[in-house]
Amino acid sequence: GLAYRYETVIRIAQFIVQKRIPSEEYLLDLSSSDVEEILKGIKGIGPYTARLALILALRKYDQPPVDRWLKKIVSKVYGVDEKRVESFWREKWRDWSGLASLALTITLDAEPLRKALARIERGELTPIHEPDKLSPLNMWRYF
């Protein structure tokens, strides 16, 4: 629940203040795998969160954040067994596999799994483009 996340946020803030997380400059020189291991060393940070941090904070795109949503979608679209989704995604997108995970989320308008799967069933694999409605595809207009 929320208490668990709250504790993790506080813990991360303490790590930063206490300089127990290396500097951004240092992390940028490490491999994505090494940075992921450092981040996972913080209680409450798992692979998914660490990989999102790689993408969003360090612009390292080679480690895909893989969750239940991505597994189900990729399995449905590409016919890949869910157990193989991560390796398939890495092979397909290589150094861009992390960014590809975010792009797929945007393509399906960040919809809940049930709605995203229904769209795929209908063959709707493009973003819904409603110019006057805020969506992941057009939010850049509002910055």
pLDDT digits (tens, 9 = 90+) for 6-63: 888 888 888 888 888 888 999 999 999 999 999 999 988 999 999 999 999 999 999 9
Is 95 found in the same domain as 44?
no
Give the predicted TM-score (pTM) of the model.
0.83
Q: Give the count of domains, the chain.
A: 2
Domain span at residue 51? 2-58
80's tokens: 């890949």
Task: Please check the confidence at residue 2 and state whether its pLDDT lies above 70.
Answer: no
Tens-place pLDDT, residues 109-131? 889 999 999 999 999 888 877 77
Is 78 found in the same domain as 28?
no
Residue 134 lies in a domain: yes
